[in-house]
Structure 1
Amino acid sequence: MIIRQFLLWTQHESAGRRAEAAASLARAYLYAKLDAAARWEARTAMTALLDDPSPLVRRALAEACANAAEAPRALVVALTQDQPEIAGLVLARSPVLSDADLVDCAAVGEEAAREAIASRPHLSAMLCGALAEIAGPEALRLLAANPGAAITRGSLLRVVERHGDDGALREALLARDDLPLDVRQAVTARLAHALSAFVTGCGWLSPERSERAAREARERATLGLAEGAERGDLRRLVIYLRGAGQLTPGLILRAMLSGRMAFTEAALTELSGLSPERVAGLLHDGSGHGLRALSRRAGLPAALEPAFAAAMTAWREEATGLRESSAPALSRRMIERAVTACENLPFADSHVIVALLNRFDAEAARDEARVLARTLVDEAAVAEVLDAIPAALLESYREDRRRLAA
């Protein structure tokens, strides 16, 4: 009787009044202490209201049921198939929906539905994987920015592969504290590619020079990211670099000339197939025979062997400087020794390597100049501040320091 009266009443009221009644009915079902018969009638009435021609009524139902764990499952599932602004309310919040429901909605729904799902408080690895495969950049940005999303490393790499050219998405990914090292490098590589394409499109550099600049910037960033990484993270990074075609002899030479022996060992371990302990022993063999054998086992060009040997000799001679320094900076001393070692090679073998080493030297010189310039500017700023302090006040400060020291 109650359900019949309610439905008859709704036929003669405005959409606004029907929406208010729908919300009241849903709240009564969810929070009032109704007996079994009354709950059945209320649930049946709400289900019937899904056919109401006004979206205001269905939106009222969605708003009332969105956060409720006791909401009728059939009702909530039906609301997910409604207009995007209505479906999004339950897709973003409803605890009634299972992963299977959400994956289905993501697969067949509009992009707005995927965005709503990506913003849910908690997302399983399976659901994140589904979104990584089908969602657009905006939904993936929401996913990346969601601290409750259990995104696996494979899903993150898939996100970068599909939409890594989107700047907002890259920013959201890099802001994640749990972003794996190889994924961070993949994002950095896509950024370098985007900058290269922009520079080329503007006509500022030729495609060849732009590609070289992007590659060198990517290599510098890669070594910077690898600094201080755990062995397992380094291994995953070099595996990813190899698969992406980025674990090049040039990168390994740069790592060696920067004193980045942990990365060098990881790279040669991956390429040679030897154990890390065996690679470390061959790399640091003072006779040079071990390094030569390791280089050939790793499939590196034979013309690089003199440069590698000279760089390792210079590195071993360093008492403190290059070993695990604070930034991935190239050593001009090691570069000079490597260039000298290549002088006796035939021009056909040496000119590419020497040209690369000369570019490394120019890069290192610019880095040294930048550091010196910053130091001089900082010293000038300190001197300017000191000059502005009244002499009497400065002398009083110095006297206080002398008394404290005594």
Structure 2
Amino acid sequence: MILRQFLTLTQNASSERRAEAAGTLARSYLQGRLGPDAAWEAKTALLALLDDPAPAVRRALAEACAGSDQAPRPLIVALASDQPDIACLVLARSPVLMDADLVDCVAMGCEETRAAVAGRVELSKPVAAALAEVGGVPSLIALAANRSARIGVAALLRMVERHGEDAELRQALLARDDLAIEVRHTIVSLVAEQLSRLGQDAGWISSERGARVAREARDAAALALSDEAGEAGLGRLVAHLRVQEQLTAGLILRAILSLRLPFAEVALAELSGLSRARVAGIMLEPHGAGYAALHRRAGLPALLLPAIRAALGVWRDEADRRSGVSGPRLARSMIEAALTACETMPFAEARSLMALLARFEAEAARDEARILTHEQAEARARETAEDEPREAMLLAAPEPVEARIGIPAEAASALPVSQEIVVPTAEPRLPDTATAWPLAPRPEDRIGAAVVPAEATPDGVPESAEAVLAGLAEELMARFLAERGQVSDPAPALAPPPLPSPAPEIRPEPPRSARPRAIALAVAAGMIPEELVLSYRADRARQRLAA
């Protein structure tokens, strides 16, 4: 009944009307509210709509059935083989399609449909492998950007092998968190070869030098990746290098001289067939017969044996001494030892090896300079960061009162809290010599000047230097008076005694009630020579020891 009514309604209708009716019928069937007979008739009507010449009708069916797991499988398979704009709707998200259907669509479809398959959620490894084998750059970029896709290492390597020259594809692959270390090394090697070819095509470098640059860049990348590979990743990396015929004697020598001893241990174990633990124990005794046997078993050239032995000897000695020498400094020491070991060999045989070691030494020196420069820059940045808050605090804080009135820092620290000096924060003016406290000792207050009897303050504290010295020890006072007599009487002993000088004029001073007692003591202490104070402290210390 449903099939007959549908055919009657759509027999003479327009394509837009038929498309609307097809979508309504498909949604009714997928909801599961029809009886068995009605569901069978609805399914038959949907399959009959596949022969509709209007693409809009088939598109309506694809839009209604693409995300449902209740859609008829024959309908979905047929729509997956339709024209690309219709097929992409079901290929991108239909749960009815199996891996075999997707692989067939990848093999027989176009780049648009392959890109739709590559963007599916939870894409399986077989489908990803099919895409890696036949897909073009757009579909491979979509596959690499699909974080939920499960892509095997072999498929990733095949993608790099086929279209690794595309920079967008390399960027999408390197952005994946699960990218295998073998694939990363392959990408780096490919980039090094591209740069080498670019230099050769431009005439900047020769073909021999370009090949050497690419090889050394590939080896350096392998060692850099080994630092973060871990135990399992390191073994996979060494196995990959051996399969690619890149596990060379020069790479092992570079690993030893750059302190990548774990890589060297795994590489020698891979080449010799021994366990890594046994290889590590043999490398601790490089001058013994065991390492010579390991060297031969790994297939390394005999020319490298003296250099590797000398380098491992330096490394073992530094490890035993634990002198703290590491990094580029230790690497340079090992390279220098290797160069010294090569000096006794015939020049014709050791020429290439010494040139290689010289390049390694230059690289180690540059690495040491980079590290030192980086450390100095960090230290300077820290000092700048520490000085900025201090400078800001000094600029924001007012000038200390003691500095403004000329009191020494030692004397200012002795000021009691009750006698704190408050200076108004007004615009600075020149001091009034008649009322302001003098910024420097007056001539009559200096040590060695004529003694003028001084008046006492209301507190009963004398304010002259002689009065302060009167409270010192008798021995120190005697020494002070003797030194002052020598200064005041520098004439020879046979000279006639000088005429008595007139008595000093006593000039009364105004009362100094405004000057605190502590400030007077601080100023008087500032006029006493430092060596006199130090000798007084020494005498007091001896007196305490004697007591």
Cα distance in 2 between the residues matched to 1:357 and 1:114: 50
d(CA) in 1 for partners of 2:63, 2:144: 26
CA deviation after TM superposition for structure 1 residue 165, in Å? 2.2
Distance in 2 separating the partners of 1:392 and 1:105:
70
The alpha-carbon distance between structure 1 residues 361 and 396, as it changes in their structure 2 partners (threshold 3 A), is farther
| Match in the other structure for 1:356 | 356
In the alignment, which residue of structure 2 is the partner of 1:404?
Answer: none
Relative contact order, CA 8 A, sep 6+: which one is greater? 1
Instruction: Give the counterpart letter for 2:258 in structure 1.
Output: S
Change in CA separation of 1:47 and 1:254 when aligned onto 2, cut-off 3 Å? same
Distance 1:376 1:394 in 2: 26
Structure 2 residue aligned with 1:137: 137
Q: Within 1, Cα distance between the matches of 2:253 and 2:325?
A: 15
Query: What's the secondary structure of 1:246's corresponding residue?
Result: coil
Q: Which has the higher helix share?
A: 1
Deviations 1:91-136 (A, max 9, x none): 1100000111111111111122221111110122222222222222
How many angstroms apart in 2 are the aligned matches of 1:154 and 1:296? Answer: 33
Cα RMSD, aligned residues only: 2.4
Q: TM-score, normalised by structure 1?
A: 0.90
Q: Deviations over 1:209-234 (max 9, x none)?
A: 22222222221221111114333322
Inter-CA distance 330–24: structure 2 relative to 1 (3 Å threshold): farther
> Once the two structures are superposed, what CA deviation does each residue of 1:327-357 show, in whole Å capped at 9, x if it has no partner?
x998211111111110111112111011011
Structure 1 residue 11, shift from structure 2 partner: 3.8
Q: Deviations over 1:67-95 (max 9, x none)?
A: 10000100000001111111111111000
**Aligned-partner Cα distance in 2 for 1:139–1:222:** 29
Secondary structure in 2 matching 1:93: coil
Rounded to whole Å, the distance in 1 between the matches of 2:223 and 2:7 is: 69
Pairing 1:318–2:301 present = no
More deviation in 51-60 or 199-208? 199-208
In structure 2, C-alpha distance between the alignment counterparts of 1:332 and 1:73, rounded to whole Å: 69
Corresponding residue for residue 49 of structure 2:
49
Alignment of 1:388-403 (within 5 A): 389=389, 391=391, 393=393
Question: Identity of paired residues, percent?
Answer: 55
Deviation per residue, 1:19-71 (Å, 9 max, x gap): 22221111111115111122122211211211222222211111111110000
Q: Determine whether 1:146 maps to 2:143.
A: no
Quick one: which amino acid aligns to residue 198 of structure 1?
Answer: L
Partners of 2:286 and 2:309 within 8 A in 1: no
Which residues of 2 match residues 241-260 of structure 1 at below 5 A? 241-260=241-260
Q: Is the Cα contact below 8 Å between 2:287 and 2:309 reproduced in 1?
A: no
1:104 matched to 2:104? yes
Distance 2:64 2:394 in 1: 69
1:71 aligns with 2:71: yes
The letter of the residue matching 1:92 is A
Partners of 1:161 and 1:251 lie apart in 2 by 23
Q: Give yes or no for contact 1:271–1:298 (8 Å, CA) kept in 2.
A: yes
1:205 alignment partner in structure 2: 205
Counterparts of 1:390 and 1:357, CA distance in 2: 50
Q: Is the Cα–Cα contact under 8 Å of residues 329 and 368 in structure 2 kept in the other structure?
A: no
Partner of 1:183: 183
Partner SS for 1:147: coil
- What is the identity, as a one-letter code, of the residue corresponding to 2:173? L
Counterparts of 2:365 and 2:2, CA distance in 1: 86
Q: What letter is aligned with 1:277?
A: A
- In terms of Rg, which structure is larger? 2
| TM-score where L is the length of structure 2 | 0.67
Gaps of 5+ in 1: 398-406
Change (3 A) 1:15 1:200: farther
Separation in 2, partners of 1:329, 1:98: 60
The C-alpha deviation readout for 1:276-315, integer Å capped at 9, x for no partner, is: 2332222222534322221111111111111100110111
